């Protein structure tokens, strides 16, 4: 059986063959504990520190500012909770946006129950946060602003540098969740001016279960995990050497392939968009028309249900839904709701996301499959 064309790179990415090759020795022979002082610890320890340098090089920071985590969710938890608990004497107010990933929103809700106050700034119809809204939400007791670098559903890029400048002016910490941006567009922590930045390996052709958090020196967060002194004493537990090596390699490749990769992704994504627009009417693009991830295409098909389209195309194209329709109700994603996408459009929303392994031939075929499916469903109506 041939596999469906994979257009869900924002969901996760395949492993880059070079990432697999870099990891192989640590699966097959280099099993040592990096903390061991004997011979077996040498290669794993060196590999972890090499990987740290590669992640730091991609982000434009020092290796000592990179903390390895289990992924985007843990990095966000550590950033938001770590900053909140470490600064609770100074203040208990946090600012975030209505379109963050649940790995930020749910942490904020958890903190709200424990006495913190959170302002969820709105977005406009393109999914963009306004720095003026963030400024208006500032309070003397604000300790943290967490605004994502790019949105996972619609791809909209946020004005993070502008918001970080505001944060700095008021001596407030600034975190950004860049899980979706890494490898797709250049991301530099110094240019952004952020204190904390989240990265997730499996959006970057490395395995699932590995990520990193940039923590600007000399910032101290509340410790994430108590135990032995790994990861500069911040996160206890024997290092996930295998995947750390994979993440390092993935970051090295990302640094080498940017900025060309951005243009290649954009060409594939735009061809997909154009192909669908040429044959179908009543399509709406969600997200910012220009300030958007180069690989992301969130489209609403008016009057249709996303799950029905996915069922129709599922054997040939893998994409994801922006809304889930049940027998008597429709659940629209919080992102589309925040962007005020009208219901008759929102419920028929699909997210297509291309990646480094996508070919133009796959895009052309996907256009044919989606066009046929949408026409069939419209004829049934
Ligand atoms: C923007 C964003 N943040 C965080 C995460 C969570 O990352 P992980 O799956 O590595 O925990 C994701 C994953 O979908 C994401 O898209």
The reply to whether ligand 1 has any atom less than 6 angstroms from the CB of 158 is no
First CA to last CA distance, the chain? 31
Residues 249 and 298 in one domain: no
Residues 236 and 101 in one domain: yes
pLDDT value, residue 19: 98
Residue 72 has pLDDT above 90, yes or no: yes
Residue nearest to atom 8 of ligand 1 (CA): 72
Peptide bond into 218 cis (omega under 30): yes
Name the pTM for this structure: 0.97
Residues 199 and 214 in one domain: yes
How many domains is the chain built from?
2
Residues 274 and 342 in one domain: yes
Residues 21 and 146 in one domain: yes
Cβ contact 123:134 at 8 Å = no
Residues 224 and 356 in one domain: no
Other beta carbons within 10 Å of 25: 15
Residues with catalytic function: 325
**Helix or strand or coil: residue 85?**
helix
**What are the CA-CA distances from residue 308 to residues 126, 263, 349, 378 (Å)?**
26, 32, 11, 11
> Which residues span the domain enclosing 306?
5-12+259-380
Residue 323 has pLDDT above 80, yes or no: no
- Dihedral sign, Cα of residue 88, residue 172, residue 175, residue 135: positive
230-269 residue pLDDT tens = 999 899 999 999 999 999 999 999 999 999 999 999 999 9
102-145 residue pLDDT tens = 999 999 999 999 999 999 999 999 999 999 999 999 999 999 99
Residues 228 and 305 in one domain: no
- Percentage of the chain modeled with pLDDT above 70: 99
The burial class, CB within 10 Å (0-12 / 13-18 / 19+), for 316 is middle
Question: Final residue of a domain: which of 242, 257, 272?
Answer: 257
The reply to whether ligand 1 has any atom less than 6 angstroms from the CB of 101 is yes
Residue nearest to atom 5 of ligand 1 (CA): 72
Residue 326 has pLDDT above 80, yes or no: no
Residue nearest to atom 16 of ligand 1 (CA): 152
pLDDT value, residue 357: 98
pLDDT value, residue 1: 76
Strands 283-286 and 320-321, how do they pair? unpaired
Residues 217 and 137 in one domain: yes
The reply to whether ligand 1 has any atom less than 6 angstroms from the CB of 119 is no
328-351 residue pLDDT tens = 778 899 999 999 999 999 999 999
Residues 150 and 282 in one domain: no
Tokens of residue 333, six digits? 């994603």
Q: Find, among 288, 289, 298, the residue nearest to 320 by Cα.
A: 298
Question: Final residue of a domain: which of 237, 257, 277?
Answer: 257
Mutation test residue for ligand 1: of 180, 296, 298, the one with most atoms within 8 Å of CB: 180
Strands in 282-365 per DSSP E: 283-286, 296-301, 317-318, 320-321, 323-325, 330-332, 349-353
The reply to whether ligand 1 has any atom less than 6 angstroms from the CB of 164 is no
Residues 153 and 244 in one domain: yes
Residues 324 and 182 in one domain: no
CATH code: domain of residue 357:
3.90.1150.10
pLDDT value, residue 327: 65
Mean pLDDT across the chain, nearest whole number?
Answer: 96
pLDDT value, residue 99: 98
175-223 residue pLDDT tens = 999 999 999 999 999 999 999 999 999 999 999 999 999 999 999 999 9
Residues 228 and 282 in one domain: no
Least confident of 226-235, 305-314, 319-328: 319-328
For 296-307, what is the mean pLDDT? 96
The burial class, CB within 10 Å (0-12 / 13-18 / 19+), for 328 is exposed
- The rounded distance, in Å, linking the Cα atoms of 177 and 203 is 12
- The rounded distance, in Å, linking the Cα atoms of 206 and 85 is 31
pLDDT value, residue 349: 97
Question: Final residue of a domain: which of 257, 278, 313?
Answer: 257
Cβ contact 248:50 at 8 Å = yes
Q: Find, among 189, 194, 184, 231, the residue nearest to 69 by Cα.
A: 231
The reply to whether ligand 1 has any atom less than 6 angstroms from the CB of 154 is no
Residue 15 CA to its chain's centroid (Å): 17
- The rounded distance, in Å, linking the Cα atoms of 56 and 89 is 31
- Identify the residue whose tokens are 């990432």: 19
Q: Find, among 356, 337, 370, 345, the residue nearest to 153 by Cα.
A: 337
- The rounded distance, in Å, linking the Cα atoms of 273 and 255 is 27
- The rounded distance, in Å, linking the Cα atoms of 110 and 322 is 25
């Amino acid at each position: 059986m041939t596999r469906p064309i994979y257009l869900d790179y924002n969901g996760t990415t395949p492993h880059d063959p070079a990432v697999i090759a870099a990891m192989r020795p640590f699966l097959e022979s280099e099993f040592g504990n990096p903390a061991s002082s004997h011979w077996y610890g040498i290669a794993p320890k060196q590999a972890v520190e090499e990987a740290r340098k590669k992640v730091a090089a991609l982000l434009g920071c020092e290796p000592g500012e990179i903390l390895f985590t289990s992924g985007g969710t843990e990095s966000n938890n550590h950033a938001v909770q770590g900053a909140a608990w470490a600064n609770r004497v100074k203040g208990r107010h946090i600012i975030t946006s209505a379109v963050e990933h649940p790995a930020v929103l749910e942490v904020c809700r958890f903190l709200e129950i424990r006495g913190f106050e959170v302002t969820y700034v709105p977005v406009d119809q393109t999914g963009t946060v306004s720095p003026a809204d963030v400024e208006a939400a500032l309070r003397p007791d604000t300790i943290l602003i967490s605004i994502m670098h790019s949105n996972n559903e619609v791809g909209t890029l946020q004005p993070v540098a502008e918001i970080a400048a505001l944060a700095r002016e008021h001596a407030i910490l600034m975190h950004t969740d860049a899980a979706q941006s890494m490898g797709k567009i250049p991301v530099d922590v110094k240019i952004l001016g952020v204190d904390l930045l989240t990265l997730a390996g499996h959006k970057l052709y490395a395995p699932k279960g590995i990520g990193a958090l940039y923590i600007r020196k000399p910032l101290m967060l509340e410790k994430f995990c108590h135990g032995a002194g790994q990861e500069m004493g911040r996160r206890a537990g024997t290092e996930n050497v295998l995947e750390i090596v994979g993440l390092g390699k993935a970051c090295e490749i990302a640094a080498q392939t940017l900025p060309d990769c951005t243009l290649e992704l954009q060409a594939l994504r735009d061809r997909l968009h154009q192909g669908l627009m040429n044959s179908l009417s009543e399509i709406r693009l969600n997200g910012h028309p220009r300030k958007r991830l180069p690989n992301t295409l969130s489209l609403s098909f008016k009057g249709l249900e996303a799950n029905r389209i996915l069922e129709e195309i599922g054997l040939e194209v893998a994409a994801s839904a922006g809304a889930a329709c049940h027998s008597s109700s429709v659940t629209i994603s919080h992102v589309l709701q925040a962007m005020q996408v009208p219901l008759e459009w929102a419920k028929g929303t699909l997210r297509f996301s291309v990646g480094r392994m996508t070919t133009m031939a796959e895009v052309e075929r996907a256009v044919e499959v989606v066009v046929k499916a949408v026409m069939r469903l419209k004829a049934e109506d």
